[in-house]
Amino acid sequence: MNCFPCFSSHKSKKENGKREHDSSADDFIRSRMLGMEANQEEHAKIAAQKFSFRELAAATKNFRQECLLGEGGFGRVYKGTLQSSGQVVAVKQLDRNHMKECKEFLVEVARLSLLRHSNLVSLIGYCADGDQRLLVYEFLPGGSLEDNLLKSKDDKPEIDWLTRMKIAYGAAQALEYLHDKVDPPIIYCDLKSSNVLLDEEFNPKLSDIGLDKLGQSAENTSKQSRVMGTYGYSAPEYARSSILTTVADVYSFGVVLLELITGRRAVDTTKPANQQNLVAWAQPLFKEPKKFPEMADPVLKKQFPERGLNQAVAIAAMCLQDEATARPLMGDVVAALSFLSTASEENNIPPALPPSISSKLHCISTNLSLECGGDATEDKQM
Ligand SMILES: Nc1ncnc2c1ncn2[C@@H]1O[C@H](COP(=O)(O)OP(=O)(O)OP(=O)(O)O)[C@@H](O)[C@H]1O
């Protein structure tokens, strides 16, 4: 028997991430708002709070350099404190070339404000004063997964195995929500460790569900105009065709999971040529389960359950299959990770999967030409 999980593939459940949907709430908002003038009435229909530019300037000490958290593809992000409530927030000031049209901006804010999940950074409010466009998010004090896992760790505690699995589980739940619980489904587009933010307890939240991303629903994949994704994280079919689907998100998730397992960057130009691309380095190892423990991050000092490690690598291997339709659905990844992230603190061993899940997750040795190492007890886990 083999310990690798097999998930229902995208081909069987959905065709390339597309699915039928009825007229949804956001269609309603879009149609209503595009037909209206940008006035007070429009603002009132958005769940997020409306801020004036003056309020956000005050919150960020006039966008002072010391408040700057960083700069991304859509603009600068500042840490601020709302004077009305004392709440600490992250204020994203969009570049002038994004969302100039007030109506379009408000439509996208309305869509953003409908998203609610504990593993997504919440949108608190927005500002559309003159030509200024700003978004106000909850502030995540723990920094990004990239900061914590992959950058210099002098002043940071190492992230232990179970915490890594919990981070993977939370990020997977957020993607499952966007793919399967939102209608029409939303493709995250740019999952990478710098977009996984952490709170004080290392609970992950996906950030940067940007305006372009919300404009890119699973129904309009062929309308992709701007190059999204990040080298090292993008699915091979996206590099070939520029068409994004939910299965491309599954691939990017596989890369982040592999980063969590190995402590290596998706792309690291400081490494020897054959190790610079994480997936290319890992692919041959996926065929040699006995070598899986060698893939683990050395800073873990072998403090991980071997069965859990084998299962996590197998999930990553499933997500990273070249054949897009063979990749698992995020719902199945969530089911498997829920067990890997709930090991008892005492023995750090993930519990056996219940029959209902293990029957769903049947073996994938034929897909990946893998034979699992480990003992019979381990093999029964998945
Ligand atoms: N809600 C937040 N709480 C705390 N820090 C945040 C928050 N949102 C963004 N940041 C930080 O602000 C910086 C810029 O973030 P932003 O999302 O604009 O870009 P990015 O993720 O670095 O790049 P890209 O736009 O290519 O995804 C990053 O360091 C990020 O960790």
CA distance 201 to 241: 39
Helix axes 278-286, 306-319, angle to 10 degrees: 110
Which of 60, 74, 77 to mutate for ligand 1's pocket (most ligand atoms within 8 Å of CB)? 77
Residue among 143, 164, 172 nearest 155 (CA) = 143
Query: Of all atoms in ligand 1, which is nearest to the CA of residue 192?
Result: 27
How many other CB atoms are there within 10 angstroms of residue 135's CB atom?
28
**By the 8 A CB rule, do 187 and 176 touch?**
no
Q: Assess contact for 230 and 190: CB atoms under 8 A.
A: yes
Alpha carbon of 336 to ligand 1 centroid (Å)? 29
145-380: which CATH architecture? Orthogonal Bundle (1.10)
Q: Where exactly are the structural domains of the chain?
A: 49-138, 145-380
Q: Is the CB of 69 under 6 A from ligand 1?
A: yes
Question: What ipTM was predicted for this assembly?
Answer: 0.97
- The answer to whether 105 touches 128, Cβ cutoff 8 Å, is yes
Q: Which atom of ligand 1 is nearest to the CA of 144?
A: 31
Model pLDDT for residues 86-116, shown as the tens digit of each residue: 999 999 999 876 666 788 888 888 888 889 9
Q: Is 292 helix (H, G, I), strand (E, B) or coil?
A: helix
Confidence of residue 225 (pLDDT cuts 50, 70, 90): very low
Q: How confident is the model at residue 253 (pLDDT cuts 50, 70, 90)?
A: very high
pTM, entire model: 0.82
Is 92 a known ligand-binding residue? yes
Whether residue 72 has its Cβ less than 6 Å from ligand 1: yes
The residue nearest atom 9 of ligand 1, judged by CA position, is 77
Examine the residue annotation and report whether 183 is marked as an active-site residue of this protein.
no
User: Does this chain's domain 49-138 share its CATH topology with 145-380?
Assistant: no
Q: Is the peptide bond before 184 cis (omega within 30 degrees of 0)?
A: yes
Q: What are the residues facing 71 on neighbouring strands?
A: 76
Distance 286 CA to ligand 1 centre (A): 32
Tell whether the model's pLDDT for residue 24 goes beyond 70: no
Kindly name the residue from 26, 131, 155, 190 that is annotated as catalytic. 190
Give the pLDDT confidence score for residue 163 in this predicted structure: 96
Structure tokens at 292: 């899986």
**Hey, what are 88's tokens?**
């600490």
Measured CA to CA, the distance from residue 309 to residue 381 in angstroms comes to: 12
CA angle 202, 189, 241 (to 5 degrees): 145
**Candidates 3.30.2270.10, 3.90.1150.10, 3.40.50.720, 3.30.200.20; CATH matching 49-138:** 3.30.200.20
Q: Summarize pLDDT for 168-219 with one digit per residue, the tens.
A: 999 999 999 999 999 888 999 889 999 999 999 999 999 978 555 544 444 4
pLDDT band at residue 256, thresholds of 50, 70 and 90? very high
